[in-house]
Every structure is written in structure tokens, then in C-alpha cells.
Structure 1
């Protein structure tokens, strides 16, 4: 069984859908740890309700990203974590974790990347007046939502959509697509060293 840590900064609806998928047997993984950078985030409560340990840190208490990522890396190593699953984590992952978990950090983003990277992708899509948006699951690199795309699903924006209704419909896709996609990745062992697998 794959040991995963979920990184989140907010309410944690994607965290919950991953936990639910594990409990229902749809996702063959074990959520060993929640990593959260906001002490008042609702996702911490969700972790408690599900008996999942949380590592909560305040980035301002550290001198640098390297310093707090080293602390996170220690927590992950202690638990034998194999994959980092970002679910509404609002910080860029730095070199420390990227090196340690190369090709094993996965993110979900509420747009059809490369369109509307960064914060408030749903608001960006509405402001731009586009008729199509969706959800992207991708590997994480050092850029902002720039890593290799694993899966995408599109969604038509109607004239009646508001940021709220669109967010709701996007969450529905996210909660269904993320667990399925993660299971596919775990089944094939990710893209780790795939270029060397000529054996």
C-alpha cells in the first residue's frame, strides 16, 4: 500500500475526498500525514475526525523555505512517505522537497493548464470570459502550476455561472478525478526513473 502525505492550506474538500476514497477501497493508499501551513485551516479538523496526524507549521517562524521544508522532509521520512499529494496547498514547493520526492509530488488545479495558473483560477476564467475551463492534475516542478500534465477534464462555463456555481461544479470533477488518477499513478509506480527502465 502506498503511503501518502496530503498538503493543504484551506477547507480540505479534496483532502476529504482522498480520505473517503481510501476508506471505501477505491484508492489503495494510506494517508499517513496532513501537512498544513495555516493553523486555523478547517482541513486540520477533518484530519482529526479521520484519525490522521497533522503536521502544522507557520512559515513565518522559519528563516527560509529551505528551513521549514527540511523539517517537513524529516516528518515525511519518519513515516516512510512515498508520494506528496497537494490538495489546495497555497505555497510553491521548494528545491528541498522537489529533490527528495522527484516525480512523486502531484497537484490538482482548477483550470485547464496552462491557462489560469496560480491563485483564483476560477475567478480568472470568469473574468476572461472563456467558455471552457476544467481541472488539471499534474506533477509538480519548481514553477507555478507548470509541471507535466497527467490528466485533464474540461467543463463548459454557462452564461448563468457565477464563481460559486462554477467552483461547485469544478469541485465535483476534482473529487471524482483525483482519486482515480492517483490510483492509476500508484498502479504503475509513477514516472520515477521511467527513462531508465529498459530492463
Structure 2
């Protein structure tokens, strides 16, 4: 079985990255994590990836004169790893259209809501403010519109009485760690694709 080469983009602790790394340890998993790139040098997930023997890089957008140059450099790093697929795992930057189109159909993201509800940030607080009874997470293809790409997999969690954004987030995160490796495997096996 030829495994797809996958790079992960993070900005923080990389808990979803860790879930993908763990899944890829299974001999029958159709992907291998070949590199982890962060836009923050202090991201905790970089040390986790290094400890697993995975290549890492950090690039601060502030050091580049333009977003285009920053994203061109990101692509150069990803291609130096011969990445075939890019997974966004808490990468807290809006990506430009050229970068997104370069990786069209080969870049996926995990988002903490049941898309199309609650695109963008603060999803758990917004769900609670709306009195939602069900919340969850989505893995979707990345397209130029924010959190607008076609959904690959979703998981629901009930909103409980007394929930705070933190308690709700913790339950959603468990589901994120479950469905992200599943969705990546589906993409690697060709079971889902983005029609562009």
C-alpha cells in the first residue's frame, strides 16, 4: 500500500495533529505525517512532532513583506517534504486564494462546529448564546471562502445544561480527534474528492 505524504499546519498545541500522528502509526493507515509547519515558533505541537521524528518548520508571517511571499514560502517548505495533502489543525491564519487554489482538493481542515453553522471563531460561545441543543465538529475541504468548503465528515455532541464554552469545547475535541483521522483516510483512499 502506498501511503500519502501529509503535512500538518498548526499554530498551538497541535492536539488534532497528535491524533493524526497516532492514527498514522497503524500499519494499514493510508497516510504518513511527513512534516509539521507552524506560523508560531513557540507552538507546543512542534516539540511533539519533533519527538516523533517528524520534520518541522516555523514561519512568522510578520517577517515577510506580504502574505503572498509568506504563503509562497510555506508552499516551498511543504513541497520540500513532498507533501501530497495538507491538513490544517488549529492553524490560525486566513489563507490566501492562490495558496488555497494551489492545494485545491488536497487540503482539509477541522472546524469546531456543525458547518455551515458558526463559521469563524468562538464557535462554542456562539452556539451556547443561541441556545443550540446540538453542537459538534466538521472536517471539510478548504476553499477560498472561510469555512465554506464541502464537508467530508461531521460528529455531533449534545449541548448540556450548565455547559460553558470550555466544557462544550472539551467534548467536541474528543470527536475532532476521532473524525479527523477518519476523514484524512477517506481522502487518501480516494473515497472523497473536491470537484473543482
With structure 2 as the length reference, what TM-score do the two structures score? 0.93
Count of matched residue pairs: 194
Deviations 1:39-93 (A, max 9, x none): 1111111111111111101111111111011111111222211111011111112
* Residue 160 to residue 27, structure 1, CA distance change in 2 (3 Å): farther
* Residue 189 to residue 101, structure 1, CA distance change in 2 (3 Å): farther
User: Which has the larger displacement, 89-98 or 99-108?
Assistant: 89-98
- Unaligned ranges ≥5, structure 1: none
Runs of 4+ in 1 over 3 A off after TM superposition: none
Match of residue 3 from structure 1: 5
Distance 1:53 1:24 in 2: 19
3-state secondary structure, aligned to 1:134: strand
User: How do residues 139-178 of structure 1 correspond to structure 2 at under 5 angstroms?
Assistant: 139-178=141-180
Match of residue 23 from structure 2: 21
Q: Residue 98 of structure 2 is aligned with which of 96, 99, 103?
A: 96
User: How do residues 111-150 of structure 1 correspond to structure 2 at under 5 angstroms?
Assistant: 111-150=113-152
Q: Is 1:132–1:154's contact at 8 Å kept on the other side of the alignment?
A: yes
- Unaligned ranges ≥5, structure 2: none
Distance 1:190 1:68 in 2: 30
With structure 1 as the length reference, what TM-score do the two structures score? 0.92
Distance 2:64 2:82 in 1: 24
Distance 1:186 1:28 in 2: 6
3-state secondary structure, aligned to 1:31: strand
Q: Is 2:30–2:189's contact at 8 Å kept on the other side of the alignment?
A: no
Distance 1:186 1:155 in 2: 27
Match of residue 12 from structure 1: 14
Q: Is 1:92–1:143's contact at 8 Å kept on the other side of the alignment?
A: no
3-state secondary structure, aligned to 1:188: coil
User: Which has the larger displacement, 57-66 or 22-31?
Assistant: 22-31
Match of residue 77 from structure 1: 79
* Residue 186 to residue 61, structure 1, CA distance change in 2 (3 Å): same
**How well do the aligned residues superpose, as a CA RMSD in angstroms?**
1.6
User: Which has the larger displacement, 181-190 or 157-166?
Assistant: 181-190
